[in-house]
Structure 1
Amino acid sequence: MNEKRRTLLKAMGGSTALAGLAGCISTGGSGGDGSDGSDGGDAGGTATLWTDLSDGEDEAMSAYIDEYESESGDTIDKNEPGGELDQQLETAIPSGEGPDSWIWAHDWIGRFAVREEPPFLYDASDDVDASLDVFTETAQEAVQFDGALHGLPFASETVALFYNEDMVDEPPETLDDMISTMDEFHNPENGEYGLSYPVTNPYFVSGFIQAYGGDIFDTESLENDLDSEACKRGMDALERVSDYVPADPGYESQIVAFADGAAPFAINGPWEIANLSEEIENLGVTTLPTIDGNNPRTYSGIQTFYFSAMLSDADQSTVDAATGLAEWYTTNEEIIQTNAEEQGYIPVLSSVVEDGNLSEDVRAFAQQVDHGVPIPTHPNMNAVWTPLTEALTRVFNGNQESGPALDQAASEIRENQ
């Protein structure tokens, strides 16, 4: 998982609505006869795909694309543009040099859907054969905006609790249980800590802030709720655990402490399962502990094949290639199951979710997703991330009390919307 996806500080978007698509699941893109996409007499289409994946994810995606190309006759030009993906898109699409599709969490859909000059997304409602009913309801909603279909989902992700089974006998069920264990190990002078956790990152700490029912962003009122008593109570709970993390709240400094065996717990995402399994022989994953009986309501992202506005003026064969790859990949049970096993992806294909043949680690993350909420996609959400990050940083550094910090963040967000 790259640093950009770790931070998830640019969740933006718009309200969603189900599109009511119908039809059968396609197994290929253009150039097919309608049955297997492999030999329909037409030359296959060519589409570009931009990705920003970890090494393991990228290797797996390349192998799947090779398989798709062999089956469909299409050609997929996959590359990583370098730099921040959203910034690359902002430059490339207006100049006509953007990709036909890209992979990212769902949180950009609303942000890009409201862009009119130039448009950034393509409505593939008439091009996709797969019924959205094959995906979980949350995933269905995540890839749409005002009835338009702007992508297809393939996995969800959120943060949960990792624990070192050599240091922790039983995973904590409550926050008090967790703090009791952290007390046993926390000794900063000896480089030992109770917890690894990027506590100034809004995505990572969303579960605590929203644990008492407050919303960082209310999708009905389209306002932030940070200055509510509920969010302030959640912030107080966050402060209880932030006392146990290393002094540098940055992602790398935090995760290294847990990977090196210097902390019994880490709060992180499924993208770290493979890496941490190599470092910690007996690695456990569970849901975040309850806080006064409440399950922390963490933000979750839905990994998505986006359909770019470049498809609006493209040949139909290119449209078919881009949407065909997305359909083939997102509805392929074998791919989704393998990704769950090898990449720690949390499935959103209902048949795989309901099958129950998932590892304990993935099931734990899936359960945490059920406790949480998707990152809001309304464009006003974009105004939330920076003020909240700055508030969390001030509190962590001891420069401001948590209540006033949230009041200030709430005020700044409303001014910027």
Structure 2
Amino acid sequence: MKKLFSIFMIMILAFGVLAACGPQEDAEEPAKGGDDNQAATGEMPEKPEKLVVWEDTDKGIALQPALDSFTEEYGIEVEFKELGMADEIREQLPLDGPAGTGPDVVTLPHDQIGQNVVSGQITEIKVDQEVLDTFTEASVSAQMFDGKLYGLPKATETPIFIYNKALMEKAPETFDELYDYSKGLGKDQYGFLALWDNFYFAYGIMGGMGGYVFKNNNGALDAQDLGLSNEGAVEGASYIKKWYTDVFPKGIIGENGGSTMDGLFNEGKAASVMNGPWAFQAMRDAGIEYGAAPLPKLPNGEYPQTFMGVKGWHVTSYSQHPEWSTKLVEWITNYDNAKIRFEQTAEIPPVKKLIEDPVIAENEGAKAVAVQSERAVPMPNIPEMGEVWGPMATALQTVANQKAEPKAALDEAVKTINTNIEANHSNK
């Protein structure tokens, strides 16, 4: 009952934020977000005594040095609290923010940005182009919603090519090489495995062939323009079908596919996989000496265009000190503090200068993620993306199981996605 009451309160508070007037529409409300006049003049308001940050669980070890140096530089105390980024922060911010006990700065996965903007939890920020130029272009675009900037990138991750060095001397240059190698292996031995019935992983192939989720119009995603059944997407799905027909075992389709794939690799029965840095620890625990590289080229000569996840730092709409909060976000994402984050947590900040630093350039796994991230696209962060996952999973599984042709399966998925967007997001 307590959980149900909390959920009900979140809904009421979120509705209230949406329905309320903006901060400059009601003179009696405390200001939320930035002051455009102050931003335009470049003048900073009076310093606050304290700022509050919400950080992800077990990541404070990388944040504390940045906060200490910020305090030393600007004389502003900063305290932080660790909460689960994907769930606890999402649930607590609509409650603590209006109550006056929320943070000035918060970390979020970029695919939650759209919903947090729509529900009034985070505010647009303004920074110099010089600051934006320190990050990779894709990671900055992940912090955009409807053409506006709502944060700065903290860390990035994306699927890469991981191989067992005892079974494969080096990563192949092309998927054609990998396919031929895989076809030449004996029974119960696999050259390469991937969870391509899962849209998160399959998008790398479909995107590299010319498919897309929502059309990107100068930083604004158009939910009415889907590219999931265009010629490139169908070509990608057809290539996926080829691997399931000729190479992949049936056991890596469906809900248990991930554990089956991991088991085959960690038992030395698969020479390589498409997976992410989150898999490294289990591989080490299994005694696998693994190598890592960006994904090989597709048959069309292009690289897979994987989905990239970007964790970011954001200024909340409840902060009474948005300019100083923005200054703090700039500080904790700069080169020096990004390097500390990588050294303490192994999270990979998309800071261009850091990617070239030996600390990442000489780390095989980190370098692979960094290079592949430059070829990746941010996972769409608009609320309509929630309507994509289910229909695309169904389509890809029917293709993998040889129960439908790629074109027919994708056409049906797009039809379902459009119907659900119309039903659930038409009042946007």
* Category of TM-score, reference length = shorter chain: 0.7 to 0.9
CA 1:125–1:163 in 2, change beyond 3 Å: closer, same or farther?
A: same
Establish whether residue 134 from structure 1 lines up as the match of residue 134 from structure 2: yes
Establish whether residue 47 from structure 1 lines up as the match of residue 48 from structure 2: no
Q: What does 1:18-167 align with in structure 2 at a 5 Å threshold?
A: 43=49, 45-51=50-56, 58=58, 61-71=59-69, 72=71, 74-81=77-84, 84-85=87-88, 88=91, 92=95, 96=99, 99-115=103-119, 119-125=120-126, 131-146=131-146, 148-167=148-167
The equivalent residue for 2:262 is 255
Q: Deviation digits for residues 318-358 of structure 1, max 9, x if unmatched?
A: x577545533321042x433544665544322322344652
Q: Is the 8 A contact 2:136 2:374 kept in 1?
A: no
Q: What does 1:255-294 align with in structure 2 at a 5 Å threshold?
A: 255-292=262-299, 293-294=301-302
- Tell me how far 1:299 sits from its aligned partner: 1.7
The equivalent residue for 1:305 is 313
For the residues of structure 1 that align with 2:348 and 2:61, how far apart are their CA atoms?
A: 20
Q: Amino acid of the residue matched to residue 120 of structure 1?
A: Q
Q: Deviation digits for residues 355-398 of structure 1, max 9, x if unmatched?
A: 46522332222222232322233444333222112222333344
- Tell me how far 1:158 sits from its aligned partner: 1.4
Q: Is the 8 A contact 2:207 2:233 kept in 1?
A: yes
**TM-score when normalising by structure 1:** 0.74
Q: Is the 8 A contact 2:85 2:108 kept in 1?
A: no
For the residues of structure 1 that align with 2:261 and 2:355, how far apart are their CA atoms?
A: 31
* Partner SS state of residue 353, structure 2: helix
Q: Is the 8 A contact 2:86 2:109 kept in 1?
A: no
The equivalent residue for 1:198 is 195
How many corresponding residue pairs? 364
Q: Amino acid of the residue matched to residue 88 of structure 1?
A: E
Q: Amino acid of the residue matched to residue 209 of structure 1?
A: M
Match of 1:373 among 371, 377, 391: 377
Q: What does 1:167-178 align with in structure 2 at a 5 Å threshold?
A: 167-178=167-178
> Unaligned stretches of 5+ in structure 2?
1-35, 422-428
Match of 1:218 among 215, 236, 244: 215
For the residues of structure 2 that align with 1:173 and 1:181, how far apart are their CA atoms?
A: 12
Q: Amino acid of the residue matched to residue 79 of structure 1?
A: E
The equivalent residue for 1:336 is 338
The equivalent residue for 1:363 is 367
- Tell me how far 1:232 sits from its aligned partner: 0.9
Q: Deviation digits for residues 196-234 of structure 1, max 9, x if unmatched?
A: 433332221111112222223322454111222211110
Give percent identity, aligned residues only.
Answer: 25
For the residues of structure 2 that align with 1:238 and 1:113, how far apart are their CA atoms?
A: 36
Q: Amino acid of the residue matched to residue 208 of structure 1?
A: I
Q: Amino acid of the residue matched to residue 201 of structure 1?
A: N
Q: Is the 8 A contact 1:182 1:193 kept in 2?
A: yes
Q: Deviation digits for residues 286-343 of structure 1, max 9, x if unmatched?
A: 22222212211112122211322232xx4x3xx577545533321042x433544665
CA 1:210–1:342 in 2, change beyond 3 Å: closer, same or farther?
A: same
Establish whether residue 209 from structure 1 lines up as the match of residue 209 from structure 2: no
Q: Is the 8 A contact 1:23 1:130 kept in 2?
A: no
For the residues of structure 2 that align with 1:409 and 1:324, how far apart are their CA atoms?
A: 44
Q: Is the 8 A contact 1:111 1:379 kept in 2?
A: yes
**In terms of Rg, which structure is larger?**
2
Q: Deviation digits for residues 53-95 of structure 1, max 9, x if unmatched?
A: 5xxxx2xx22233334444263423222598357525863686
Q: Amino acid of the residue matched to residue 132 of structure 2?
A: L
The equivalent residue for 1:408 is 412
* Partner SS state of residue 227, structure 2: coil
* Partner SS state of residue 78, structure 1: strand
Q: Amino acid of the residue matched to residue 102 of structure 1?
A: V
**TM-score when normalising by structure 2:** 0.72
Q: Is the 8 A contact 1:158 1:365 kept in 2?
A: yes
* Partner SS state of residue 155, structure 1: strand
The equivalent residue for 2:399 is 395
- Tell me how far 1:50 sits from its aligned partner: 4.6
Match of 2:239 among 208, 216, 237: 237
For the residues of structure 2 that align with 1:86 and 1:77, how far apart are their CA atoms?
A: 13
* Partner SS state of residue 218, structure 1: strand
For the residues of structure 2 that align with 1:150 and 1:84, how far apart are their CA atoms?
A: 19
